[in-house]
Amino acid sequence: MIAPDVQTAFARLRDMIGEANSVVPFTGAGISTESGIPDFRSPGGIWTKMRPIDFGDFLTSREARDESWRRRFAMQDQFGGAKPGRGHRALAALYRAGKVPAVITQNIDNLHQDSGIDPGHVVELHGNTTYALCLDCAKRYDLPWVRERFETAGGRSPDCPDCGGFIKTATVSFGQAMPEAAMRRAQELTDGCDLFLAIGSSLVVWPAAGFPLAAKRNGAKLAIINREATEFDEFADLVVHHDIGDVLAPFVAH
């Protein structure tokens, strides 16, 4: 069913959530556009402006490492102060109410944690860009630490002082292995839910995009909230082509 307007969408969602025991949200970049972070595939999105640096290039090219840190700090200046939007806050309210055990996200912006969801209950399929890790010894580094060294060295990315490994944001780049524990946890949540909410994802990045279909196959209901149509709309029990913040806003207060 395609919800014709925001009110109908909210009413249908409220009923579906009311009837469900375990609601698992699966979020993409679209939930964070209200916070001022552009998504990848909308017109004007990051994708249309910059080719991503894949993991192989990061490992083999000093220039690619420097460039990826240069981009990261430019992003920090633009989006570093982003705050959770109505979509994040609505999911946090459902989490506090005990309806949502955890959120699966493709986002790397830390906004679900910032909205009050325990970090242990945010399953990040593509990692997190708000801190960095040494690729060899896994030591964690804060971004201001990396930035200071990057700037002091005239725009050269620092290596790990402990082991000499490359330091990279804790994100999963194209060509980099998916995090096993997060994939396993996402699968368990998907298998255990009776309502799966795909929110703000174009559902084209695999293997992440497999989860909505797996939920449906497993007998859960599927609702898709996304401004644009997705290839999975035909499988969904509810399809909402409206603004995420507008649709989820009434949940914020509850």
State the catalytic residues: 126
Using rule CB under 5 A, residue 54 touches Zn ion = no
- How far apart, in Å, are the Cα atoms of 54 and each of 22, 59, 127, 176? 36, 9, 15, 8
- Residue 205's closest CA among 41, 21, 2? 41
Using rule CB under 5 A, residue 160 touches Zn ion = yes
Q: How many chain residues bind Zn ion (CB under 5 A)? A: 8
- Among the listed ranges 1-9, 148-156, 160-168, 225-233, the one in contact with ligand NAD (CB under 6 A) is 225-233
| 34-39, Cβ contacts within 8 angstroms, sequence gap of 24 or more | 34/85, 34/86, 34/87, 34/243, 34/244, 34/245, 35/79, 35/82, 35/83, 35/84, 35/85, 35/88, 35/109, 35/111, 36/79, 36/82, 37/79, 37/82, 37/109, 39/200
Which residue, 160 or 172, has its beta carbon nearer to ligand NAD?
172
Which positions from 97 to 136 touch Zn ion by CB under 5 A, shown as an x/- string? Answer: -------------------------------------x-x
Contacts of 109 (CB under 8 A, 6+ apart): 32, 35, 37, 79, 82, 129, 130
CB of 244 to ligand NAD, least distance (A): 4
CB of 137 to Zn ion, least distance (A): 3
Using rule CB under 5 A, residue 137 touches Zn ion = yes
Which positions from 179 to 218 touch ligand NAD by CB under 6 A, shown as an x/- string? Answer: ---------------------xxx--x-------------
Binding footprint of ligand NAD on the chain (CB under 6 A): 28-30, 32-34, 37, 39-42, 45-46, 106-109, 126, 200-202, 205, 226-228, 243-244
